[in-house]
Structure 1
Amino acid sequence: MKKIFFTALRYPVRASIVALGLMAALTSTAALAATAAASSGAPAPKTGGELVFGLDGAQVSEFILDPANSSFAPHNRVFRSIFDSLVVLKQDQTVGPWLAESWEVSPDRKTYTFKLRKDVKFHDGTPFNAAAVKFNLDRIKEPKNALAALIDLGPYESSEAVNATTLRIKLSEPFEPLLRNLSKTTSGISSPAAIAKYGDTYALNPVGTGPFKLVSLQQGTEIKLARNPDYKWAPVTATHQGPAYLDKLTFRNVPEESTRVAVLQSNQVQAIDGIPPQNFVLFKNDPNYRVYLKELLNNNYGLALNVAKAPWNDEDIRRAFRASLDIDTIVKVIYLGSAPRAWAQLSPSLFGSADKELYRSWKPDLAQAQQILDKKGWVVGKDGIRVKDGKRLTVSFIDTQGNREKRLDVIQLVRRHVAKAGFELTIDSQPAGAYRTKIANLEYDLSAGSQFAPDPDVLRRLFSPEGRAKTSGYKIDDPEITQWLKDGLKENDATKRADIYKKVQRKLVDKVYTIPVYVLLYAIGTTKDVNGLTIDAQGFPEFQGVWLSSRVD
């Protein structure tokens, strides 16, 4: 076996093209806070107090705090405080140790052997060991849990607890994304005993090994956590290895952005995320607040016309729709410089991104859009909307998350732009269940979304019919793209693998399968009393090192 110790992946990381002035300064502030404090002789961290975090959790009616059953970003921002993973993704996008101290990969790259820590236990007092990890991996394969985590394991065949501290994972074929995927929040390790105890209600009673443990949960409203006093197994990226400094950590769902700003300014909470663009510079320039910013490794937020349905199965019509859009203007107007324009599906800092190669690869051209539609027989009606065979050129946009990250504001501007070419865009807002049903039944014209991920294999779960769920808004069935995504799974040469994913992204843009809109920069604002906050390499907040200058009990 070839020994891979701590640095199993060594992919080159291109500096993000969006790290301009303000963004670079803010990111550096978050990353270097602890170092700066130490070098300046700042006070030592204080233990105690409660941090209340105003979470942009959207208009959700329930929290699902089970890593195997929720890929919703706001939930995953809570996961990292409750659950630990086998490995951690470091800032340079190499993989380091966490609950696994080291690992070996067989020459055929189908067997991974992990050496686990001996000193870890779950919040319920039961031991963390190889049997517990095997239970978690096998659980992901259960049909009722077959969400995003299932595809993260790829060709997972089985796992074996060789002894209490040795776990062996067997794959049916090589799967390069495995280690990166095991670092995800959705790969956090749950207590088998708690899952057996709570059954179908486990998502309301999560038990992990993380720096905080659950105290109480009010559905859709509030999650209260308390410090895990036994914690001493933080990842190599942590600012310290012992228990969290905070006594309590509370996540309060505050979906309305102006309310989030108000509760921070009135000190009802000490931190918020999803800072509205119009308040971004205000907080940055106010000495009473601190702002942290980090690019979320991500499939960028983008638009996708339903290519399984006429007229969107016609590439020319899709091209006309895109040509009527001025994405630069939309992003500038909505985000006021707090989020950059996206040119590719993968965020600029993610390994395999084609953002640089696709920069300025197309431009808005209203005249071209109108010419295409004229040629296709879509005639402008009296109200400016085009008609063909008695049918209006209507684009029904389906949504279920409201205006999280100002996404509906984006769609409102999209509506104005495409109307100039003769498209009539309507918004169909649905609760989650109805949304999934309508997506599965192709009862929509346009969808939009993003997907956080530490590996470019995220493209497979979105754009390959073999890898995506029926409830995915992407309905592309392109055999060439599907084959490339299969090739990317097995290729272990970093340069060749990156080239594969860049090729996929070029075709997605060339065929107008998707229209990337913006790169998500995760922003957190805090009062000046909050110290030691960090954001991990994947763009999720870490509270284990947070301490309060003035305790808030």
Structure 2
Amino acid sequence: MSLLDLRRSPLLLPAMLGAGIAALAVGWYGLTAVPEPVPRIRYVEGVVGAPQRVSPLFARGNQPDEDLATLVFSGLVRIAGDGTPLPDLAEAWEVTPDGRTYSFRLRGDLYWHDGERVESSDVAFTVASVQQPGFQGPATLALRWAGVEVQAPDARTVIFRLPEARADFLVQTELGVLPEHLLSGLSVRDLLESPFHQAPVGSGPYRLVALSPGRALLERNTSYHHGSPAVDEIELRFFPHASELEAALARGDLDGALLEEGRHAQAAAVLERRPDLRAVELPRNGFTVLYLNNGRPPLDDPGTRRAIAASIDRDALLALAPGWAAGASPIVPPSWAHSPVSAPGPAQAAELFAHAGWLPDAEGALALGGRVLSLSLITNAAPDRVALADLLAEQLRRQGVVVSVEAVPAVELVGARLAHHDYDLALFGWEPGVDPDPLSGWHTSQIPPPGRNVASYQDPDSDRMLEQARRTLDAGERRALYAAFSERFVDQAASVVLLYPRRTYLVPASLRGLESGLLFRPGNRFRDVHAFSFEGLD
């Protein structure tokens, strides 16, 4: 019985309770009475897209696959809402003082959905599959596991040896583990095309019992190592477009859905028709950033960059991105590594421009040595992004900066303009990994080609902080280093972090057990699904 059935039949739940009381009374007075069966509860969500391969190795980038993989599979660790690694298949782990060897001890109560035991050899097999030459999954996944040696000396011990110490390695072990007894011996191509991905066997909180292009049905795993989930069944229904999903949600055909980014108005419209739902704003692991080309004059001057950064009114930007949050730090909250930083605003901009030597000319434009401060702002040609670029340009013009806006396809922006430093200002987005380490985006060694430091930010102090934070395994020391880096980032105006995006998750008002946290992937909304329950149906 789904939540939809209960909602559409308001007399059904009292009737069920009444039947149970009656059965109890009969059972007390007459030993031959048969109690009423307890109804099974099914929770129904909508998802945009269609399933292709339900596998932790191949699901990246397709939300239906990622959602299902999250529900079906488990890793050695699972990631908390602030990015902290927590025990999952592993009950404990140790790291050698040099940070290069990790030893994991598996729990003793681990079973695949087919009843076979989960063992350390399954972990070794999964990593070996990623390390195969010609691996068909994401290149970034293969790169992260390159050079890592894996041993399984006994059924419950897994040992990883790294080429060098890496503080971000632990979160890497969240990779869902595959069953060796069902997949061993497959070639790279056969693994990619295996029918296993349509009927996967995992060790996660739910097992997949039916899959079609339009829906997936999952039943709770009563042998789940964190405890049997309270919700008996989860059904995911797949829609080709966000508008169709939202219409189904408004009609009452769904119990909930994680709406796509930028659908705040649509969420409000659904809530008007569905008072039984509530909205939870989940922060996405990323930010919208105004890149400043540190390698091109006049933006090679930190003082000029500071004045540009101060010209931006982030609160005004929120009018174009309702539900989002204003930002300044290059580490996304509520990450364990995030520390709030303050940045100067428009009230200080004129003074900062003057301090950098830029003064208004006769026409009100800022000039230095007879040169007008004229900049181009480029962004990708998405309507929301262009509107944000126009507002940023207007804010800069109020300070006397001459600004032109150019919109190009995202592929051109990234491959031709950012990668080749062919811009002044660029509005785009940044998505860090699960670990908050920002080195790849802001260290001098990462200036393209081939790195991702497209702002050409070069600062020895920042480099030192980032290098030290990547080496140390002490979380407190890393947090302090990232706090110092964030302050330095803002002080040097390396670029300007503008907004932290959020996605609206519409769920039943009666849902309990949902904890807000970072969405590293959309499936992270299910990180505590085994604790989900519904008030009144416990």
Instruction: Give TM-score scaled by structure 1 length.
Output: 0.69
Q: Which residue does 1:291 correspond to in 2?
A: 279
Work out whether residues 329 and 497 of structure 2, in 8 Å CA contact, stay in contact via their aligned partners in 1. yes
Shift in Å at residue 460 of structure 1? 1.9
Query: Does residue 1:343 correspond to 2:328, yes or no?
Result: yes
Given candidates 102, 106, 124, the residue that maps to 1:116 is 106
Of the three residues 410, 428, 431, the one matched with 1:448 is 428
Tell me which residue corresponds to 1:97.
87
Cα 1:547–1:129, aligned 2, differ >3 Å: closer, same or farther? same
Larger RCO (CA within 8 A; separation ≥ 6): 1
Contact 1:54/1:251 (<8 A) preserved: yes
What is the CA–CA distance in structure 2 between the aligned matches of 1:467 and 1:214, rounded to whole Å?
A: 46
Deviation at 1:98, TM superposition (A): 1.4
Deviation at 1:501, TM superposition (A): 0.7
User: Contact conserved, 1:302 with 1:517, CA < 8 A, in 2?
Assistant: yes
Per-residue CA deviations over 1:241-261 (Å, capped at 9, x if unaligned) read: 2596225323435446xx654
CA contact (8 A) 2:291 2:428 kept: yes
Post-superposition CA distance 1:344-382 (Å, at most 9, x none): 122333223221xx2244445554587589849999799
Residue 136 to residue 310, structure 1, CA distance change in 2 (3 Å):
farther
Q: List alignment gaps of at least 5 residues for structure 2.
A: 1-16, 21-36
Q: Equivalents in 2 of 1:378, 1:216: separation in Å?
A: 67
1:131 paired residue among 102, 111, 121: 121
- Secondary structure at the counterpart of residue 325 of structure 2: coil
Cα pair distance change 1:93/1:133, threshold 3 Å: same
CA distance in 2, matches of 1:481, 1:204: 46
Contact 1:49 1:246 in 2 (8 A): yes
- Contact 2:472 2:478 (C-alpha < 8 Å) held by counterparts: yes
CA separation of 1:479 and 1:472: change in aligned 2, threshold 3 A: closer
Partner of 1:328: 315
* C-alpha contact 2:216 2:236 (8 A) present in aligned 1: yes
Alignment partner of 1:504 out of 480, 485, 488: 485
SS in 1 for 2:481: helix
Q: Match of 1:393, SS? A: strand
Match of 1:398 in 2: 380
Distance 2:315 2:116 in 1: 53
- Distance change in 2, residues 1:191/1:418 (3 Å): farther
Note closer, same or farther for the CA distance 1:252–1:546 as it changes in structure 2 (3 Å cut): farther
Amino acid across the alignment from 1:327: R
- Residue 407 of structure 2 is aligned to residue 427 of structure 1: yes
Counterpart of 1:487 in structure 2 is: 468
- Per the alignment, residue 227 of structure 1 pairs with 218
Deviation of 1:227 (Å):
1.5
Give 1 or 2 for the bigger CA radius of gyration: 2
For residues 514 and 231 of structure 1, the distance between their equivalents in structure 2, rounded to whole angstroms, comes to 50
Which residue is 1:534 aligned to? Answer: 514
CA RMSD in angstroms comes to 4.8
Query: Is the 8 Å Cα contact of residues 465 and 475 (structure 1) preserved in structure 2?
Result: yes
Looking at structure 2, the residues matched to 380 and 200 of structure 1 have their Cα atoms a distance apart, in angstroms, of 64
Contact 1:156 1:169 survives alignment (8 Å): no
Whichever residue aligns with residue 289 of structure 2, its letter is G
Give % identity: 16
- Amino acid across the alignment from 1:342: G
For 1:536 and 1:78, the matched residues in 2 are separated by 20
1:253-264 aligned at under 5 Å gives the runs 254-255=241-242, 261-264=246-249
Structure 1 251/437 Cα, relative in aligned 2: closer, same or farther at 3 Å? farther
The residue aligned with 1:463 is 442
* In structure 1, C-alpha distance between the alignment counterparts of 2:228 and 2:455, rounded to whole Å: 42
The 1:413/1:161 distance shift into structure 2, 3 A limit, reads: same
Name the CA shift for 1:260/1:168 in 2 (closer, same or farther; >3 Å): same
Query: In the alignment, is the contact (CA less than 8 A) between 2:246 and 2:270 conserved in 1?
Result: no
Contact kept? 2:295, 2:455, Cα under 8 Å: no
Does structure 2 conserve the Cα–Cα contact (< 8 Å) formed by 1:385 and 1:422? no
| Count of residue pairs brought into register by the alignment | 479
Residues 244 and 287 of structure 1: is their aligned pair in 2 closer, same or farther, counting only changes over 3 Å? closer
Tell me by how many angstroms 1:307 deviates: 3.4
Deviations 1:137-176 (A, max 9, x none): 34555686565446766x9631112123321111244333
Task: Note the C-alpha offset of 1:443.
Answer: 4.7
Query: Within 2, Cα distance between the matches of 1:302 and 1:203?
Result: 42
Report the alpha carbon displacement of residue 536 of structure 1 after superposing the two structures with TM: 6.5
**Which residue number corresponds to residue 250 of structure 1?**
237
The amino acid that maps onto 2:312 is: L
SS in 1 for 2:406: strand
How far is the alpha carbon of 1:81 from its aligned partner?
2.2
Matches within 5 A, 1:35-434: 47=40, 49=42, 51-55=44-48, 67-68=56-57, 72=61, 74=63, 76-77=66-67, 79-90=69-80, 95-117=85-107, 120=110, 128-140=118-130, 147-149=139-141, 157-183=148-174, 187-190=175-178, 193=183, 196=188, 198-200=190-192, 205=197, 207=200, 209=202, 210=204, 211-213=206-208, 216=211, 224-227=215-218, 232-234=223-225, 236=226, 240-242=227-229, 245-246=232-233, 248-252=235-239, 254-255=241-242, 261-274=246-259, 276-278=263-265, 287-296=275-284, 298-309=285-296, 312-331=299-318, 333-336=319-322, 338-355=323-340, 358-363=341-346, 365=348, 367=350, 375=358, 393-398=375-380, 402=382, 407=385, 409-420=387-398, 421-430=401-410
- Cα distance, 1:82 vs. partner? 3.7
Contact 1:246 1:547 in 2 (8 A): no
- Aligned partner of residue 524 in structure 1, secondary structure: strand
Q: Deviation of residue 500 (structure 1)?
A: 0.8
Write the letter of the residue equivalent to 1:506: E
Pair 1:391–1:500, CA change in 2 (3 A): closer
- Given that 1:533 and 1:541 are in contact with CA atoms closer than 8 Å, whether structure 2 keeps it comes out as no
User: CA, structure 1 residues 550+429, in 2 after alignment: closer, same or farther (shift >3 Å)?
Assistant: farther
CA contact (8 A) 1:51 1:270 kept: yes
Question: Secondary structure, in 3 states, of the residue corresponding to 1:179?
Answer: helix
Distance in 1 (CA, whole Å) between partners of 2:345 and 2:299 is 19
Q: Report the Cα distance in structure 1 between the residues aligned to 2:435 and 2:229, rounded to whole angstroms.
A: 30
* Offset at residue 547 of structure 1 (A): 7.0
Please report how far the alpha carbon of residue 524 of structure 1 lies from its aligned counterpart in structure 2 after TM superposition. 0.6
The separation in 1 between residues aligned to 2:415 and 2:195, in whole angstroms, is: 20
Check 1:473–1:62 CA distance in 2 against 1; reply closer, same or farther (3 A cut).
Answer: farther
> Which structure 1 segments of 5+ residues have no match?
1-40
- 8 Å CA contact 2:77, 2:88 repeated in 1: yes
